[in-house]
Amino acid sequence: MMELLLIGVLLVAGAMASPWLLARWVGRLPYAPECPHCQTVTVTGRRRAHGPLDRVYEALTETAVRTCTRCGWAGRMRWRLAPERVGGRR
């Protein structure tokens, strides 16, 4: 009985900690499209998802895989939201 209670507490603690961990991981990613090392514009280095689990993971994380042609840096980046729309577009 005590083991079942311990497992339940661990599951609840894991469920409560997962949003914080995800926010911390995404918060540490550099902003796209500028390379964090040499400040040049990076290009899309998108790799294909091999299975349904990869596609779900890619849709949930929503980070761009980018590469720098100048210094060779490659990694995931996050997009910064624009403070206002360009040219009156909606």
pTM over 0.85: no
Distance (Å, whole) CA 51 – CA 73? 26
Query: What is the chain's pLDDT, residue by residue, as a tens digit (90 residues)?
Result: 889 999 999 999 999 999 999 888 888 888 878 888 898 888 876 566 678 887 777 767 666 778 888 898 888 888 777 677 666 555
Number of H helices, E strands in the chain: 2, 3
DSSP string, 21-63: HHHHHHHTSPBSSB-TTT-PBPEE-PPPP-SHHHHHHHHHH--
